[in-house]
Amino acid sequence: MPSPILRVENLTRGYPSGGGELVVLQGVSFELEEGSTCAIVGPSGSGKTTLLGLCAGLDRPSSGSVELVGHSLAGMEEDALAQLRNTLVGFVFQSFRLLPTLTALENTMVPLELRGEHDAKSKAQELLGRVGLAERQGHYPAQLSGGEQQRVALARAFIHEPRILFADEPTGNLDDDTSQSLLELLFSLNREAGTTLVMVTHDMDLARRCDRLLRLGAGHIVADETSSAESQGA
Amino acid sequence: MAETPGSGSFPWRMAWRDGRSSAWRLSFFLVSIALGVAALVAIGCFDHNLRTAVDDQARSLLGADLRVRARRAFDPETEEFLAREFDSESLEEARRVSFSSMAVFPKQDGTRLVRVRAVEGDYPFYGDVETIPPEAASTYHHGRFALVDDSLLHQFSAEVGDTVRIGTYDYKIAGRLVQVPGESATRALFGPRIYVPRGEIDPQLLVTGSRVTHEVFYRGDVSDDKRQQRLEVHCNRFDLEWDTVEDAQRRLGRSAEDLGSFLGLVGFVAVLLGGLGIGSAIHVLAMRKVPMAAVLRCLGAPSQQVLLVFLIQAAALGLLGAVLGTLLGISVQELVPWALKDFLRVELPRETSWQAVFTGVGLGLFVTMLFVLLPLVSLRRVPPMAVLRSVERSSWTRKDPLRWGLVVLLALASVGFAMLQTGSWSTGSSFAGGVAGALVVLALVARLLMVGVRRLLPETWPYVVRQSFANLHRPGNQTTLLLLCIGLGTFLLLSVDLTRGSVLQTLDVSSNAEQPNLVLFDVQDDQVEGVREEVTRQGGPLLDSVPIVNMRIARVNGKTTEELRNQEEDGPPTWSLIREYRSTYRGELSEGEELIAGSWVSRWDDEDAVVPVSFEERQAERLDVTLGDTVLFDVQGVPLLTKIASIREVDWRQARPNFFVVFPEGVLEEAPKFHVLLTRAESTEASAQLQRAVVDRFPNVSAVDIKMVLNVLEEVLQRLSFAVRFMALFTILVGVAVLAGAILSSRFQRMQESVLLRVLGASRTQVLRMVTLEYLCLGILGSLAGGLLAVAGSWSLSYFLFRTEFRPDLTSLAVAMGLAVLLTTVVGGLSSWGITRRSPLGVLRSEGE
């Protein structure tokens, strides 16, 4: 049996609040296999985004551990975590998080340029073509629609061929039609690259397209379901 | 894990891409640092040229290689000594006699006290006397001709070819005197110069009592050490002064250093303000760049690379500003000597100092980096989690030891910079401390304003007013920086004016009906009655008649002046020992004097006993004498032993003769003396008529119109304050650039708020009112704080330096503060121009840019 790409054990995260501590995540544990897709769902304030941030090494837990692609994140320096993200992790955010002063092409190139790779431009152009923005690569984010911005974000997320992709409400700011085409693109790119996908969403239809569904409530996993798609061998 | 990320070229590419769109926002700060560097470079070039000129033109400062000077005619021993030591074929000799006298312009019917310089020989040996016509500088020696100061000819509308009378001699004016080597234009204001040949002076003018300076000049090799030692001994013995080119060079070098220090401080404030401006701009930028830093961190950029992206941008900005500033400084360097031309004694070369250029570029870049590091270093600690949710800023800015280290470095560098500019540890550190104090006061005012507005703003006030005041304490506002700029600008502008006004108002006695405004001096014993008659005939009251006896100190408490001068340390200053004391005698204290120790002796008839005298407080301190000490005076050859019986405090501002030493009646009546008569003329015409009448009858008597002296003083102070204000202009321009830049950097935020307010139903007029009211409030508070600082500063100068009563000119205070308010409101209004005209959609779409 292959080793899990993501292993979370007894994860707890609290924040100081009014002299005490507000615990937003408590004792969460799960494992995820490489190449799988997983949706994290739950009501607002249930700890979804906190869990995503902890899994991706963006934040540090109060207790518990995260092991990502065989690396234990506990005790890693900030810059080592950054290095890990740059090589193994991709991100897609609800509010796109493109750099406003960079063009679509430049935004897409950032992860490869950080590594000092020389063919960043051609790869970025190819990916932008793949997401249907070949003609818009010189445009700045403010000159693109929301759907176009999220497609640039997708290109940026896949350009360095990450082993695992974290997506935080990737369609949360988009209309239905745009959301659908974007999701097709996301799942298609994911399948082609064999990337593991971890996605936070409120959209249950979208969640059900994933192999696995973690349901959070008040900081705990209240349900861990395998989707029907998987059970049907899709 | 794969290979290490972090390309070396990534921060450079990222800095360029990101900088393309945000550079314009920082352009005003680029201007501010450029102006600061321009000031540094222009001042540095001026300083370099001044030092070069002092070195190159040292000979023309003295006009000779050696000068020997006496306050009276050279005695036979000195003449013999000079002949023995300096009479050789290799040395050329010239002589000059200088004294003050009344000059009469008969054709124009005008009189004026002038400084007469009577030259014999080819003096100056070095440097050229500049005259119109040029040949007059040499031809005036050949007869009874005069060279007259240009300003004096202008005053009386006299021309070359007219006549000027000095004493009883008439001289034909051979030329206008434009420039004399080694003398500044301001000097001519105090005593306009008239050059005449030495052999053509009315002998009456050189009578006892007149202050006549005799000088002999030599050209040639005077560097013989042994001869100089003999000269030193001789001069000490006969109370003569001597100096060489090196002495003149050293003296002027010191003045040049002082001027350099002052100008260096102007440059310091300009660059410091520019640094503050750019630091503040980067602070605003850094807050806007937090999301970008978070994304970069999230995508795997190491913290140092994130910091490097913004540091490269700031360094490029600093370098560009420094280079632009250097170019500007080189092109405006001519303005500094132009502003200071009245105070320069040397002709300045026009050279660009490469040292000043490199210092300007280096310091500009250094100051920029120093000020931008503080806001930027926190970007390296932005948590990547900030891409997912807002993280409180203090969580990554607090407990950063690097920030505290930078604060200490900033303080040390400021002191070091001030020291570098002034060349003095104490001046540099105290000035840096003073500037820091002023900045702290202004920052406190800003803080108080923000806290006060937040807590005390009445809810019943109209919405527009409440909103504009609330703008003052919004997050990321520029209130502190704006108040610093406005306050510092007002402070710099006003303190010079207030000090000048205060000094002039204190001295302005001419309108006081009981005070004399015309002083007649050099009145001989046998002329007193005649002058009194003449004054009375012209309708002037005789307010006072003061006898003056010249004397010198021979011994103090038994020690000779030579012994006292040779004391190792803490001895009396040389001038206080060798100067000529002009003492008087009278039976009572005069107005403006107060007895502070001992007892006043009105009359003394015991010829054989030690004479009790009264000393002025500060002169007694200088001579290190007190009650009961003895001072032996040499009263024109007659020794007179005195004992200090009382100490007086003297108000030197009184427009009447004041004295270091006052004798009782009954002692000096028979000594050779002259008199000073004090009177009052009710108008300029009456004063001129009285002076003419007295000078016509008594050519050796001189008159000083106090009103004219005050006018001259006012003009000198005006020229000085112009020069100071001109130099301060650099700083003020930097302040305006920072002001506009600070307003512009918050323009986007204002634009968004304006859009939201308009979407919610506010009219353009309401939005504009809010903006205007906000800047009006800032202008009023900034100018008030700056005005108060200026009042405090000028009071300190008046009290400690000039020791005068502080009388601020409330009109100029109000005008300057009003101007500051107007300027702030106008700059604020102009910088915010158009924020209400942008379409809401355009602004909303460019959010996050």
| The pLDDT of residue A233 is above 50 | no
To the nearest whole Å, the CA of A69 is away from the closest chain B CA by 8
Average pLDDT over every residue of A114-131:
89
Q: Which of B388, B390, B392 to mutate to test the interface with A (most CBs of A within 10 A)?
A: B388
Q: Which of A15, A79, A108, A149 to mutate to test the interface with B (most CBs of B within 10 A)?
A: A79
Supply the ipTM of this predicted assembly.
0.82
**B364 sits in which H/E element:** helix B354-377
**B771 sits in which H/E element:** helix B764-796
| The pLDDT of residue B21 is above 80 | no
pLDDT at site B194: 92
DSSP string, A175-215: -HHHHHHHHHHHHHHHHHHT-EEEEE-S-HHHHHTSSEEEE
What Rg value do the Cα atoms of chain A yield, rounded?
Answer: 18
User: Distance (Å, rounded) from C-alpha B166 to C-alpha B196?
Assistant: 10
* Distances from the Cα of B110 to the Cα of A217, B102, B145, B262, B395, angstroms: 105, 10, 19, 40, 81
Average pLDDT over every residue of B121-150:
88
| The pLDDT of residue B604 is above 50 | yes
Q: Which among A71, A91, A102 has the least Cβ separation from residue B298?
A: A91
Q: Answer yes or no: do A82 and B10 touch at CB < 8 A.
A: no
Q: Which of B299, B391, B843 to mutate to test the interface with A (most CBs of A within 10 A)?
A: B299
Are B535 and B677 a contacting pair, CB within 8 Å? yes
pLDDT at site B640: 92
| The pLDDT of residue B251 is above 80 | no
Give residues with Cβ within 8 angstroms of A39, minimum separation 6. Answer: A199, A200, A201, A206, A207, A208, A209, A210, A212, A213, A214
- Two tokens, residue B104: 């009469």
Are B56 and B118 a contacting pair, CB within 8 Å? no
* Distances from the Cα of A80 to the Cα of A58, A146, B41, B290, B831, angstroms: 12, 33, 46, 21, 45
Sign of CA dihedral A126, A128, A129, A135: negative
Q: Answer yes or no: do A99 and B389 touch at CB < 8 A.
A: no
* Distances from the Cα of B423 to the Cα of B58, B415, B417, angstroms: 22, 11, 10
* pLDDT tens figures, B631-663: 999 988 889 999 999 999 987 766 678 899 999
The residue whose two tokens read 């900081």 is A219
- Two tokens, residue B729: 């202009």
Average pLDDT over every residue of B713-726:
71
Average pLDDT over every residue of B490-511:
67
Q: Answer yes or no: do A83 and B304 touch at CB < 8 A.
A: no
pLDDT at site B188: 65
Q: Coil, strand or helix: which one is B683?
A: coil
Closest CA to B483 of B271, B283, B269, B777: B777
What Rg value do the Cα atoms of chain B yield, rounded?
Answer: 34
- This prediction's pTM: 0.67
Q: Which residues of chain B lie closer than 8 angstroms to A91, CB-CB?
A: 298-299, 387
| The pLDDT of residue B346 is above 80 | no
pLDDT at site B2: 42
* Distances from the Cα of B37 to the Cα of B222, B416, B521, B730, angstroms: 45, 17, 53, 10
pLDDT at site B749: 66
pLDDT at site B5: 46
pLDDT band at B187 (very low <50, low <70, confident <90, very high): low
Q: Which of A93, A114, A121 to mutate to test the interface with B (most CBs of B within 10 A)?
A: A114
- Interface of B to A at Cβ within 8 Å reads 1-10, 13-14, 17-18, 20-22, 291-292, 295-305, 383-385, 387-389, 845-846, 848-849
pLDDT at site A228: 53
A 51-110 near B (Cβ less than 8 A): 52-53, 57-59, 69, 71, 78-79, 81-89, 91, 93, 97-103, 106, 110
Q: Which residues of chain A lie closer than 8 angstroms to B292, CB-CB?
A: 99-101
Q: Answer yes or no: do A82 and B303 touch at CB < 8 A.
A: yes
Closest CA to B488 of B820, B830, B826: B820
| The pLDDT of residue B261 is above 60 | yes
Average pLDDT over every residue of B558-586:
81
Q: Answer yes or no: do A82 and B302 touch at CB < 8 A.
A: yes
| The pLDDT of residue B4 is above 80 | no
Average pLDDT over every residue of B108-120:
86
pLDDT band at B164 (very low <50, low <70, confident <90, very high): very high
pLDDT at site B760: 67
* pLDDT tens figures, A196-207: 999 999 888 889
| The pLDDT of residue B428 is above 60 | yes
> For chain A, what's the residue count?
234
User: Distance (Å, rounded) from C-alpha B384 to C-alpha A18?
Assistant: 24
User: Distance (Å, rounded) from C-alpha B744 to C-alpha B737?
Assistant: 10
Give residues with Cβ within 8 angstroms of B332, minimum separation 6. Answer: B38, B42
* pLDDT tens figures, B71-82: 888 888 999 998
| The pLDDT of residue B410 is above 90 | no
pLDDT band at A164 (very low <50, low <70, confident <90, very high): very high
| The pLDDT of residue B569 is above 70 | no
pLDDT above 90: percentage of residues in chain B: 11
Single-letter residue type at A134:
A
Task: Return the minimum-mean-pLDDT range out of A162-176, A180-194, B40-54.
Answer: B40-54
B666: alpha, beta or left? (left if phi > 0; alpha if psi -120 to 50): left
User: Distance (Å, rounded) from C-alpha A68 to C-alpha A76?
Assistant: 12
pLDDT above 70: percentage of residues in chain B: 88
Q: Which residues of chain A lie closer than 8 angstroms to B2, CB-CB?
A: 87-88
pLDDT band at B568 (very low <50, low <70, confident <90, very high): low
Average pLDDT over every residue of A155-173:
90
DSSP string, B160-193: TT-EEEETTEEEEEEEEEEE-TT--HHHHHHS-E
